[in-house]
A and B are shown apart, each in its own frame.
Chain A
Amino acid sequence: MSGRVLVGVKRVIDYAVKIRVKPDHSGVVTDGVKHSMNPFCEIAVEEAVKLKEKKLIKEVVAVSCGPQQVQETIRTALAMGADRGIHVEVSGKDYDNMGPLQVSKIMAALAKKEEAQLVILGKQAIDDDCNQTGQMTAALLDWPQGTFASEVTLEGDKVKVVREIDGGLETIKINTPAVVTADLRLNTPRYATLPNIMKAKKKKIANVKPADLGVDMASRVEVLRVDEPPQRQAGMKVETVEDLVGKLKEAGRI
């Protein structure tokens, strides 16, 4: 086994920012807005680095797709302990339209090229909430997938994954190479330390274009319009249970 783990990291608007819709409803305002690494991607990086610290794998490669700015996100992964980075250059319209299909094609191509033993991704991004990239990547590679992982254990050439599902926890054992997606409780990401931030400067980030990987960035999805969620309507107080039932019937709820 190569002992190499690929981790995808996405640059998203920081979770704490108040999102504003653009006046033309084509998307949300991103200019001048604080961006950070997707929190689930942080958890993915942390898990990969932990595996390396336990000496179960040899190298952690952080991958991000997007314009120049995503290098900041890759640097954060390097400061957390990733060994090197790959910046897949996507900009302009291609970047605006980039979604799980394009990213999973890129991740699959890189996983093959890097002979990855594991691909670890966040379960979803907090901007689009797609929850698709991990699953699509596994399908494209025809690899097993352990999604919504709250626990990952390497056992020889297999991976035991405890998954958080609606009914509770499900434990599966899958062969490597495999794709794992990180859920919230998988771990608590570490702070980068000052020395590691400085060491990260010296780590390499390779630049690659989607075309070099044979990936077609054309989107099959067109965003028609973006709106704010509807304003919360005022409620109504009622005096009796009969009133309540009456109002519910009026509203067609029962």
Chain B
Amino acid sequence: HGAIWEWGALLKSTTETVLHISIFNSLLTAAHGLSDEQREFQKVAFDFAANEMAPYMAEWDHKEIFPVETMRKAAQLGFGGIYVQPEVGGSGLSRLDTSVIFEALSTGCVSTTAYISIHNMCAWMIDTFGNTEQREKYCPDLCSMEKFASYCLTEPGSGSDAASLLTTAQLKGDHYILNGSKAFISGGGDTDVYVVMCRTGGKGAKGISCLVVEKGTPGLSFGKKEKKVGWNSQPTRAVIFEDCAVPVANRLGEEGQGFTIAMKGLNGGRINIASCSLGAAHACVQLARDHLLVRKQFGETLSNNQYLQFRLAEMATKLVASRLLVREAATALQENRPDAVSLCSMAKLFVTDECFNICNQALQMHGGYGYLKDYAVQQFVRDIRVHQILEGTNEVMRMIISRSLLTES
């Protein structure tokens, strides 16, 4: 029986924490309802996650390593600009394809996948709202991850109330002079291209424009690297503008269009973040299941305990329900349906909440071991906790959904 042992041993030695998510129990398989081509995309993403990410996710978290080389490897496979147009280096895939890919990658490392999704969102914004020069200047390098991007909307004084942002951009000749600061910027300080929402006009959303600011621009500096509970494979810093001069040629779209661009970016971003939560939850359900089958107390395996059986069933059910909602939202966004924005908000709200609960319950099922960093389940819990907060808090999601419900036409 030499060959399979040989093969398995070689793989085991390099992938100790491989969860074989892709071949898990057919009830939970993420491949249901996908086309052959989508299953191929998914397979590549699962393989990449198992081989290139899962073995390192604990180290990246512990040592706070931003895994540039690994992300560039992912970009070589087409993961740098998944829904960016091919003529500027993207893969030209759909929102659903993208969701499937991020869900699979997330099983290897949530934090890194989440950053890749933010990078993708920025690349898409430039691709969609940029003119030819801007697209040709930025998109190819972003798609190959020769350069990395950050999305800059939140400020110390404006989180949920994003439209009240204060960073100003005063027009002086053929430059905007930026003053202000952004907070909690993923990748901030280590990335090269900053997509910045700033105020060129009056108050409110209509006064906001979107500028692309390059690292190294005089007047652009960064705060200290934040110490976080999770998402440790990506640095988070404040981004500070002090009389930072940015060419008018770097403005995406028209003056006053910035807020719309930001929100349109976030619709996709919300699906991506929810997809990352899905991957984590799937991994945790498998980890919990495996643990229940092995751990014995009171003379039998935990899997014989009805409470835990029922708990596992609930977790699995919520996982499948979550997946269906995310994929429906992705399809709605792709088709530009009128309900797309609300569906994306619903998906983000429901899925990030449910998947956090799934991961948290999986941790509980591990007992004391669940609290040790030797076990992956705690990292999934820590990493996806923030998905309920960023890209629009789950409270803001409720605002969007209720507004849609109450302003019926």
Contact = CB atoms under 8 A, between A and B. Distances in A.
Nearest to A76: B40
Interface in A193-232: 193-195, 197-198, 200-201
Contact of A129 (B3, B82, B91): B3
Nearest to A128: B3
A103 to B, nearest CB: 17
B374 interface: no
Nearest to A185: B10
Interface string A1-42: 000000000000011110000000000000010100001100
Nearest to B26: A32
Interface residues of B, number: 31
Contacts of B11: 15
B7 A15 contact: yes
A129 B3 CA distance: 7
Contact of A197 (B2, B7, B18, B40): B40
Nearest to B52: A191
A14 B76 CA distance: 26
Contacts of A126: 3-4, 7
A176 interface: no
B23 A34 contact: yes
Contacts of B82: 194
B222 interface: no
A184 interface: yes
Nearest to B73: A191
Interface string B1-40: 1111011101100000010101100100000000011011
B41 interface: yes
B77 interface: yes
B237 to A, nearest CB: 31
Nearest to A12: B4
Contact of B44 (A16, A32, A124, A191): A191
27 contacts: A14-B23, A15-B7, A15-B8, A16-B23, A17-B23, A32-B26, A34-B22, A34-B23, A40-B3, A40-B7, A72-B36, A123-B3, A125-B3, A126-B3, A129-B1, A129-B2, A129-B4, A184-B6, A191-B44, A191-B47, A192-B43, A192-B44, A193-B44, A193-B76, A193-B77, A193-B78, A201-B37
